[in-house]
């Protein structure tokens, strides 16, 4: 995939024979399966996405689908200097949404009998990858649901982040890192607990999952995911980058690092080997929707392994309070019409969310070109930002239909889940 690659523009709204389209849901029971409701129209979705740059993001681009109905839209700007309009067809760094792809690949190996979810991960890793103290305790499942207790390598790879300084981000813009180096960094970071003790998000888990794939399949994780997940799902706009550049069209990617950079740093061009199988994929919002549809329609995994993917552990915040539920490479959010599954992603300047109904009928994705836009409170916690509200309301409109309205209580729950899942992490 070259930086000059470009696909044809899509119409903003298309529909098949059932042009009533986009029948998104409405149900008041928080944990229920999403239910159908009156279809939203394109103007409502246009307004919902426009609210994101109005709240403070430079630009946003999104896609929603239900059955044969398709909507794509964009608002705001792709470039703060040139004020180029944002493009609905933008290629985007989807960051940790990559984890869902990698989890599917590992579960395919589980289905084939080559990997045991509850066996030690070290059984499927190159010898010596994990120290003896972890080799017999950390299972494959613990990697995928972030309960391994292994620390996150990001602040080791970018040490200036500890002081909220962008120095490391600029210094290492073109640095290449091997998976083994990332794992070594993660193992040197502070452990988050005993294996299996509790959920604690760590990118190191998914670098290890990628190494596991390479060991059991005999090809690189990137090659395996491309052939057996991306191509099998029929995606044509999703790839692991082999250069720091993004294809055209793309937005410029900005990060104010919690108010410490004004103007914000521009990280559009960046070597993503630091993210690897934890977050390096590039995609488009329409491709993300197609991936989610293929996953929940049973095209990528047998029913047993898909059920394993939705088997969750409590997602907790720093105080140990439950704020959500994390499965194997995805988590649940509860909107005004019920429960949806997906993941978020945060890579310098690129924020992404992609979610689907469990029956595979409805999907919505959103990308916007800013990260770490929230300021910090005196105690180091994140201050809420209006962009977070606008994004949550966009998801509800896209997935729950015309006139969908999150209550203040439900809105707070959604924001809390997203923030603690990773959308607002200050660690990348």
> Which is nearest to 249 in space by CA: 129, 364, 84, 376?
84
Report yes or no: 179 and 207 within 8 Å, Cβ to Cβ: yes
Which residues of 252-361 form beta strands (DSSP E)?
A: 254-255, 265-266, 282-283, 313-316, 322-326, 331-335, 338-347, 350-356
3-state secondary structure of 363: strand
State residue 422's pLDDT score: 61
First CA to last CA across the chain, in angstroms? 25
What distance separates the 2 farthest-apart alpha carbons in the chain? 60
Question: Which run of H or E residues covers position 411?
Answer: helix 408-418
CA 336/CA 386 separation, integer angstroms: 19
Cis, bond preceding 18 (omega within 30 deg of 0): no
Q: What is the pLDDT along the chain (428 residues), one digit of tens a residue?
A: 444 333 333 333 332 222 222 222 222 223 445 554 445 479 999 999 999 999 999 999 999 999 888 999 999 999 999 999 999 999 999 999 999 999 999 999 999 999 999 999 999 999 999 999 999 999 999 999 999 999 999 999 999 999 999 999 999 999 999 999 999 999 999 999 999 999 999 999 999 999 999 999 999 999 999 999 999 999 999 999 999 999 999 999 999 999 999 999 999 999 999 999 999 999 999 999 999 999 999 999 999 999 999 999 999 877 778 889 999 999 999 999 999 999 999 999 999 999 999 999 999 999 999 999 999 888 777 888 999 999 999 999 999 986 667 888 888 888 888 877 764 454 43
CA 288/CA 363 separation, integer angstroms: 9
Angle between helices 98-112 and 204-217 (to 10 degrees): 40
3-state secondary structure of 199: coil
CATH number of 21-423: 3.40.710.10
> Which is nearest to 387 in space by CA: 378, 375, 401?
375
- What is the total residue count of the chain? 428
State residue 402's pLDDT score: 67
Report yes or no: 277 and 49 within 8 Å, Cβ to Cβ: no
Cis, bond preceding 263 (omega within 30 deg of 0): yes
DSSP state of 422: I
Write out the two tokens for 91. 């290629």
Query: Locate tokens 């997203």: which residue?
Result: 418
CA 4/CA 395 separation, integer angstroms: 31
CA 36/CA 26 separation, integer angstroms: 6
State residue 176's pLDDT score: 98
DSSP state of 117: T
**Helices marked H in 218-266 — which ranges?**
221-225
3-state secondary structure of 315: strand
Question: Which run of H or E residues covers position 316?
Answer: strand 313-316
State residue 300's pLDDT score: 99
3-state secondary structure of 56: coil
State residue 34's pLDDT score: 54
Is 0.95 surpassed by the pTM of this model? no
Q: Domain extents for the chain? A: 21-423
As a three-state string, the secondary structure of 156-174 is HHCHHHHHCCCHHHHHCCC
Rg (CA), the chain: 20
State residue 91's pLDDT score: 99
> Which is nearest to 399 in space by CA: 382, 417, 384, 414?
414
What angle (nearest 5°) sits at the alpha carbon of residue 369, between those of residues 367 and 375?
A: 110
Catalytic residues: 96
CA 422/CA 185 separation, integer angstroms: 20
């Amino acid at each position: 995939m070259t930086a000059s690659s470009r696909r044809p523009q899509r119409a903003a709204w298309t529909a098949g024979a059932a042009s009533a389209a986009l029948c998104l849901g409405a149900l008041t029971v928080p944990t229920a399966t999403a239910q159908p409701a009156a279809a939203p129209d394109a103007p409502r979705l246009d307004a919902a996405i426009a609210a994101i740059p109005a709240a403070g993001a430079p630009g946003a681009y999104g896609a929603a689908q239900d059955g044969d109905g398709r909507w794509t839209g964009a608002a705001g700007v792709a470039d703060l200097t040139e004020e180029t309009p944002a493009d609905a067809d933008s290629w985007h760094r989807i960051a940790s949404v990559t984890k869902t792809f990698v989890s599917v690949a590992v579960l395919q190996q589980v289905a084939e009998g080559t990997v045991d979810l509850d066996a030690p991960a070290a059984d499927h890793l190159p010898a010596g990858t994990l120290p003896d103290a972890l080799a017999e305790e950390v299972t494959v499942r613990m990697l995928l649901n972030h309960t391994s207790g292994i620390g996150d390598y990001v602040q080791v790879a970018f040490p200036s982040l500890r002081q909220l300084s962008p120095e490391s981000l600029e210094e290492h813009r073109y640095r290449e890192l091997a998976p083994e180096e990332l794992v070594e960094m993660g193992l040197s970071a502070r452990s988050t607990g005993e294996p299996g003790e509790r959920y604690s998000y760590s990118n190191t888990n998914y670098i290890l999952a990628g190494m596991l794939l390479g060991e059991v399949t005999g090809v690189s994780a990137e090659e395996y995911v491309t052939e057996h997940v991306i191509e099998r799902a029929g995606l044509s706009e999703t790839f692991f980058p082999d250069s720091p550049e993004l294809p055209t069209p793309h937005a410029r990617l900005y990060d104010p690092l919690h108010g410490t950079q004004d103007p914000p740093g521009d990280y559009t061009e960046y070597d993503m080997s630091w993210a690897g199988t934890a977050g390096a994929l590039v995609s488009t919002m329409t491709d993300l929707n197609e991936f989610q549809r293929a996953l929940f329609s049973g095209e990528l995994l047998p029913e047993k392994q898909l059920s394993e993917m939705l088997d969750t552990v409590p997602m907790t915040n720093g105080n140990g309070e439950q704020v959500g539920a994390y499965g194997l490479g995805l988590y649940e959010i509860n909107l005004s019409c019920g429960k949806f599954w997906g993941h978020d992603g945060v890579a310098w300047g690129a924020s992404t969310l992609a979610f689907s109904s469990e029956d595979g009928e409805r999907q919505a994705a959103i990308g916007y070109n800013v990260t770490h836009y929230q300021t910090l409170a005196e105690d180091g916690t994140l201050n809420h930002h209006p962009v977070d509200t606008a994004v949550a309301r966009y998801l509800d409109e896209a997935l729950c239909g015309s006139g969908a309205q999150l209550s203040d209580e439900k809105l707070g729950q959604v924001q809390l889940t997203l923030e603690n899942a990773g959308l607002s992490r200050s660690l990348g």
